[in-house]
Amino acid sequence: MSARGATALALALGGCVIPPSQSSVGTIATADGVGARAAIGAHASALDDRGVVPVDLGAGWIGESVDGRGTAHATYVAVARRVGGPLWLGGRAELFWSVDGDQPRRALMARAALRQRLAGVRWGSTDGGGALGVLGALATGAYLDVGGRQLASGAAEIVAAVGVSLELPAIAGASR
């Protein structure tokens, strides 16, 4: 079935899919000061209900606010590898939108994260009215990002961010 056909079928059936996600909130330190940073994205590690996949791929949205700079929004892509137990090492590329002045334009960040898998979920249900399924992991974590950024003005800066994260499994449903 083509992607268009699958989309049409899901819409006709009243389908909904929520991807496996990782949400994080924390603090960022920049050349201009300290601010708040949050991110949410789809991540492969949150789809791993058994906790055995050694590589995580993710993509999503970042929002941050630093005094004197205002709010900035970005899209990110990330890759990480489990290096032992709960320790993951990886990196991410960030591309900021509608930037000016001292706001960041693009960034490359290295990440060290501790991820504690709380539970794996693999559950499905069908009845006369439709189907519901949940697949993935529930996990919490803490991270440290360190990297470099280019600002809209052309200047460069080194930044660091720390925070906590929550991973949730994928949920899919369809009704008739």
Domain borders along the chain are 18-118+144-175
CA atoms of 8 and 6, how far apart (whole Å): 5
- In this structure, the dihedral spanned by the alpha carbons of residues 86, 55, 134 and 14, taken in order and rounded to 10 degrees, is 140
> What pTM was computed for the model?
0.85
- Which pLDDT score is estimated for 101? 79
Q: What is the pLDDT of residues 13-32, one digit of tens each?
A: 567 888 999 999 999 999 98
Please tell me the CATH code under which domain 18-118+144-175 is placed. 2.40.160
Residue 58, phi then psi, degrees to nearest 5:
-150, 160
